Structure 1
Amino acid sequence: MSRRGTAEEKKKTAKSDPIYRNRLVNMLVNRILKHGKKSVAFQILYRAMKKIQQKKERNPQKQKKKRKPQKKEQKKERNPQKKERNPLSVLRQAIRRVTPVIAVKTRRGKKGSARQVPIEIGPKQGKVLAIRWLLGAARKRQGRNMAFKLSSELMDAVKGKGGAIRKKEETRKMAEANRSFAHFVNP
């Protein structure tokens, strides 16, 4: 009789964090985590979320001072700002923008040649890749501290630019270039 248990029992579900009560935040904290210091990882993420909220509150004031939009434009701009003020929605939107649909895996072909084979990615794996790319791009950024770099990277991802978006585009282009090897995928 096995003592290991079944695979169904071992599958872990991500717990939610204490402040935002969100699994996505906890997944991000677990990826930030270094040397078992989870409290430091929570501090980094919460500071980043606070900076996002502060940036979002400052931006509408700057826009009003620069120019006065017409009434139609003003109505259109109000709704997205209200939604984006919540740092959790900014985080969700950033991850949604960075999440890839397709990736490439290296497969050995005949005569020992390695080929980049494009494969489709499920939503869970896509989310994991998006978090990994966001944190990798944030760590590579020049800046003061990790919270500042992470908040900047999340804001850039929402705007459609930044290192994580660049990584997603590179992966997509690589998959597009190697589309002819798509039949090598093992079922």
Structure 2
Amino acid sequence: MSRKNLSFNKKILPDYKFNSKIISKFINLLMLKGKKTLARYIVYKSLDIFFNKINNFDILNFEKNVIEKVKPIIEVKSRKIGGSKYSIPVEISINRANTLAIRWIINSARKRLENKFMFIKLSNEYIDILNNKGFSLKKRDEIHKIAESNKAFTHYKL
């Protein structure tokens, strides 16, 4: 019998403005120190700026174009076999891919030095992702390159 604790997937309620679970996940991952109203303000303001800069764009296109571009397909996990560690490429579930994409977008927006306000940084990151320039896209490509280079170790199962 496994010693690991069983994990339960918590159901995320959709946000009240766009009725989207991905935006709700975005708000939850952006939140620091339990300040959810501030995180909501930042996400909604960044989306408003983004939708105003790019015409004919709505929330469904945002989820398809921006988040789908950043989603990774493969992740690298390390495993110790025979005294040496191997990096094994593993396919990712949809929930994990969404979480990683959102986390990378938020972290790359936080690292931007161009402006003081987070909502402007986030909206600029969305625009860079549409133009295939963002730091989060570089992160995804980097992980895919690592997985490609360790393709030989796929026969080791996790």
Same fold per superposition (TM over 0.5): yes
Partner residue, 1:73: none
State the 1:88 CA deviation. 5.0
For normalisation by structure 1, the TM-score amounts to 0.76
Distance 1:151 1:96, change over 3 A: same
| Residue in structure 1 matching 2:108, options 137, 143, 150 | 137
How many Å separate the matches in 2 of 1:147 and 1:114? Answer: 41
1-side partners of 2:38 and 2:16: how far apart? 14
How far off its partner does 1:145 sit?
A: 1.1
Change (3 A) 1:14 1:30: same
Alignment match, 2:3: none
2:16 to 13, 18, 39: 18
Q: Which residue of 2 aligns with 1:43?
A: 41
Aligned position for 1:153: 125
Q: Is the 8 A contact 1:52 1:87 kept in 2?
A: no
Give structure 2 stretches of 5+ with no counterpart.
1-5
Q: Give the match's secondary structure for 1:183.
A: coil
Pick the structure with more helix per residue.
1
1:47/1:147 contact within 8 Å kept: yes
Larger radius of gyration: 1
Residue 77 (structure 2) aligned to one of 105, 118, 126: 105
- Total equivalences in the alignment: 152
Q: Does 1:178 align with 2:150?
A: yes
CA deviations over 1:60-91 (Å, ceiling 9, x no partner): xxxxxxxxxxxxxxxxxxxxxx3xx2255224
Q: For 1:97-138, what per-residue CA distance to the aligned partner results, in whole angstroms no more than 9, with x for missing partners?
A: 011111101111222x22211111121111111111111111
- Give the share of equivalent positions with the same residue, in percent: 31
In structure 2, the partner of 1:123 is: 94
Distance in 1, matches of 2:21 and 2:116, equals 28
Q: CA RMSD in A?
A: 1.7
TM-score, with structure 2 as normaliser: 0.89
Separation in structure 1 between the aligned mates of residue 21 and residue 59 of structure 2, nearest angstrom:
15
Unaligned runs of 5+ in 1: 1-6, 58-81
> In 2, are the aligned partners of 1:90 and 1:158 still within 8 Å (CA)?
no
Cα drift, residue 25 of structure 1? 0.6
CA distance in 2, matches of 1:101, 1:90: 19
SS at match of 2:54: helix
Q: Which residue of 2 aligns with 1:96?
A: 68
Q: 1:11 to 1:123 in 2, by over 3 A?
A: closer
Quick one: distance in 2 between partners of 1:108 and 1:163?
Answer: 31
